A and B are shown apart, each in its own frame.
Chain A
Amino acid sequence: MRKLTPRSVLLGLAAPVGALVFAAVVSAIILAVTGHAPTDAVDAMARAAERPRTLVNAVNSATYYYLAAVAVAIGFRMKLFNIGVDGQYRLAALLSAALAGAAFMEQLPSFLRITVTIVVAMLVGAAWAGLAALLKVTRGVSEVISTIMLNAVATYLVSYLNRPERLAVSTAGSNNIGTPKITEGGQVAGFTVEGSSSKLFGLIFLAAAVGVLYWFVLSRTRFGFELKATGLSESAAVASGVNVKKMVVLSMLLSGAVAGLVGMPQLLGSSYSYSLDFPAGLGFIGIAVALLGRNHPIGMAIAALLWGFLANTANSFDTSGIPREIVDIMQGVIVLSVVVAYELVRRYRVRAEQHAVGGALGRTKTLEEVSS
């Protein structure tokens, strides 16, 4: 991380701001061309932004988007593509939900019960991710393929386990099916927000803590340094005494453990049970958020909030007669234009840097100077 100067701050802001403006323009054009009033969309977003409930929901969504992004980013930092966050968190949520909802858990004091639930989720996530790591270091199987496959396998495993004859209970009259409801002692209380019927997830602090920890480990520890070094150049890392195999296993386990946390805010703060309508696909959103936030702890937080807000404005769009798909389009355009903008700024920076180096070398001398 570089020193902050007014210029570097300005440059840092140029990319995201420019890209957001561009994305807004593109979306407006699309809406206008298809016979919708872009002003309605702006209106809808403004109304959403004024509604405390939407904001709370946006922050809550951002909580698990952020966790998913961190899980993805840990791997990305060393060019390890954990596409499998999706399967990892679903399996982890199911198993830890089943445990937390089990009768014997009610004996435990609340804090311990929650801790056990969370730790189990992390272990399950880590184990499922560890499988991919193991295949990679022992057999050279690309983690891209293995995690895609493991996502699918997790889906089948979850649906096998989520049956009344196994981990689930079925409730009379309900068409849903899920694990037994976690009783109050196992839940994490949320924060009431004035004017909002939704509560802010209590586990938002968990996400924040994970973010701080992520930042600290990556930028302040040897492990983080080695992670980054491996990502920048595997061969240089090896020559520098980094045990890349160990790093692959470690970071995959860490990534999986954080992935295991993805389902926790929702599970312990709102659903209290893993059932058919437990949110799916968060792993893929995590990839987008991590990329958008450039694997940076704060960048990802901002990206997650943006994502959360957009996702929660869909209802408002609907109410205003704007097709909710415009949200997906906006998200895609934002990612693309943000990275294009970053690239342009980066090129500018490199030139500036070379300029500086050239200046320091004082390369250009006149012929007379040279021959004298």
Chain B
Amino acid sequence: GAKNNDTGSGGGTPTSGAPAAGLKIGLAYDIGGRGDQSFNDSAARGLDKAKTEFGLDVKELEATAGETEAQKEDRLRQLVEGGYTTVVAVGFAYAEAIGKVAKDSPEVKFAIIDDFTDGVDTGANIANLTFAEQEGSFLVGVAAALKSKTGNVGFVGGVNTPLIQKFEVGYTAGVKAVKADATVQVKYLTQPPDFTGFNDPAKGETAAKGMFDAGADVVYAAAGGSGNGVFKTAKANSKWGIGVDSDQYNQPALAEVKDVIITSMIKEVDVAVYDFISSVKNGSFKAGQKVYDLKAGGIDYATSGGKIDDIKAKIDEYKAKIVSGEIKVADKK
């Protein structure tokens, strides 16, 4: 029934190039949804910004743990059927589903965050918004190595997935780039399909404490909500932590421990979402992969709190090298 929506979406011809008036945006979140204070929230911020600016009609749906692809697909289809002609899927779990739905609804513009798999979620009406997390992680790795007095730093990953491994790989490379003989302790809190590792500050605390006890003095928490535990124990032990996804120094929930957060690896999902919506809005939609990396400004590191002011120049040096392509950061071990 995809054809029926042609009139519903304002009567415009659904080809790229023609700006649509009164855009209806559907957003399908990953597990956690709006309010997860992390990845999904970041996407929500982008949506909110677009909404206030363009006055959109939006619909937000979220995933449940343990659901199947059919349910994800159903979610996207419900959005399409509801007349939402611009659909954003947050998270790689939507890869297969978006591929199928997009094929059936060529008039709808889709975007998927964090995935670009050829033949699965690619098509003329899909934008694949991916991030070079390894590059940002590299920079905070540099910061960690420069700040560390012991030459021993840590990485706490929430759940052992390829996505989080990207963070680890980049981080380790960053550390080694500064101090080749530095030790990087690595710990993942849980293994899939147990995704509680993103949600268990107590585990984060235990893991980080172990790292501090073993001589680390900076720990990078790529662990969603479990990062809170990392920062808490860093504070209790007068050590440092590094945040992830957004500038965690400024997160209200972390106000009490923010002075140990020296920097954060920023992944601008909000920017990606906003960019995508405005591209549809002004008719400049482009299918295919759009990489948000350091160069594109989709990835960055935070300086709030001023803890790394002394080494900022050094970090920026590395940043420039990555942007210029002089340093290539691998995203896999």
- A–B contact, 8 Å CB criterion (strictly below): yes
- Are A197 and B66 in contact, with the CB atoms below 8 A? no
The chain A residue with its CB closest to the CB of B97 is A277
Residue B252 lies at the interface, judged by CB distance under 8 Å to chain A: no
Q: Which residue of A lies closest to B66 (CB)?
A: A281
Q: Closest residue of chain A to B192, judged by CB? A: A276
Per-residue A-contact encoding for B47-68, CB less than 8 Å = 1, 0 else: 0000000000001011011111
Residue B92 CB within 8 A of the other chain: yes
Across-interface contacts of B73 in A (CB, < 8 A): 197-198
User: Given A177-B161, A319-B61, do A271 and B117 touch, yes or no (CB 8 Å)?
Assistant: no
State whether A174 and B95 are in contact (beta carbons under 8 Å apart), knowing that A197-B100, A277-B69 are contacts in the complex: yes
Stretch at the interface among A1-9, A120-128, A309-317, A360-368: A309-317
Residues of A within 8 A of B309 (CB): none
Contacts of A281 in B (CB 8 A): 65-66, 193
Min CB distance A331 to B, Å, is 12
CB of B120 within 8 A of CB of A315, answer no
- The B-contacting residues of A in range 192-207, CB under 8 angstroms, are 197-198
Which residues of A in the span 284-326 have a Cβ within 8 Å of any Cβ on B?
311-312, 314-316, 318-319, 324
Number of chain B residues close to chain A: CB under 8 A: 42
Residue of B nearest to A321 (CB): B59
Q: Which stretch of A35-43, A54-62, A342-350 is in the interface?
A: A54-62
Q: Which residue of B lies closest to A64 (CB)?
A: B68
Contact (A319, B163) CB under 8 Å given A176-B115, A198-B73, A312-B74: no
Report whether B117 and A277 are in contact in the complex, using a CB–CB cutoff of 8 Å: no
| Contact call B194/A57, Cβ cutoff below 8 A | no
A57-B78 in contact given A173-B115, A276-B192 (Cβ < 8 Å): no
Known: A276-B193, A316-B78. A173 touches B66 (CB 8 A): no
Closest to A53 in B: B74
How far is the CB of A69 from the nearest CB of chain B, in Å?
A: 16
The interface residues of chain A lying within 8 Å CB-to-CB of B62 are 318, 324
User: Which residues of B are found within 8 Å of A278, using beta-carbon distances?
Assistant: 193
Of the candidates A53, A156, A270, the one whose C-beta lies within 8 Å of that of B68 is: A270
**A198 to B104, alpha carbons, bound, how many Å?**
12
Question: Which residues of A lie under 8 Å from residue B74 when comparing CB positions?
Answer: 53-54, 57, 198, 312, 315
Question: Are A174 and B115 in contact, with the CB atoms below 8 A?
Answer: yes
Does A172 have its Cβ within 8 Å of any Cβ on chain B? Answer: yes
Task: Give which listed residue, B69, B114, B128, B194, contacts A155 with CB less than 8 A.
Answer: B194
Q: B69 CB to closest chain A CB, in angstroms?
A: 6
Of B71, B77, B82, B166, chain A has the most CB atoms within 10 Å of the CB of B71
Which residues of the partner chain A approach B65 to less than 8 Å between Cβ atoms?
280-281
Decide if B117 touches A172 in the complex (CB within 8 Å). Answer: yes
Give chain A residues whose Cβ lies under 8 Å from the Cβ of B193.
Answer: 90, 155, 158, 276, 278, 280-281
Cβ-defined contact, A61 with B68, below 8 A: yes
User: What is the CA–CA distance of A53 and B76 in the complex, to the nearest angstrom?
Assistant: 12
Check if A280 sits within 8 Å of B161, measured CB to CB: no
Q: Is the CB of B69 within 8 A of A170?
A: no
B290 to chain A, nearest CB (A): 12
Q: Does A138 contact B (CB under 8 A)?
A: no
The answer to whether A173 and B67 have CB atoms under 8 Å apart is no
Interchain CB contact under 8 A, A315 and B92: no
Question: Within the complex, what minimum Cβ distance (angstroms) separates B227 from chain A?
Answer: 20
Interface string of A151-187 (1 = CB under 8 A from B): 0000110111010000000111111110000000000
Contact B194 A170 (CB under 8 A): no
Contacts of A172 in B (CB 8 A): 117-118
Chain A residues in 8 Å Cβ range of B67:
279, 311
Judge if B160 is at the interface, Cβ distance under 8 Å.
yes
Evaluate contact between B162 and A176: CB separation under 8 angstroms. yes
Within 8 A of A (CB), among B258-299: 289
**Chain B 65-111 residues near chain A, CB threshold 8 A:** 65-71, 73-75, 77-78, 82, 92-93, 95, 100-101, 104
Known: A173-B289, A276-B161, A319-B82. 10 other contacts (CB 8 A): A53-B74, A61-B68, A170-B332, A174-B115, A177-B162, A270-B69, A281-B65, A311-B64, A312-B74, A319-B78
Listed by A's residue number, 10 A-B pairs whose Cβ atoms lie within 8 Å are: A53-B74, A155-B194, A158-B191, A170-B162, A171-B120, A174-B117, A175-B114, A176-B95, A314-B64, A324-B64
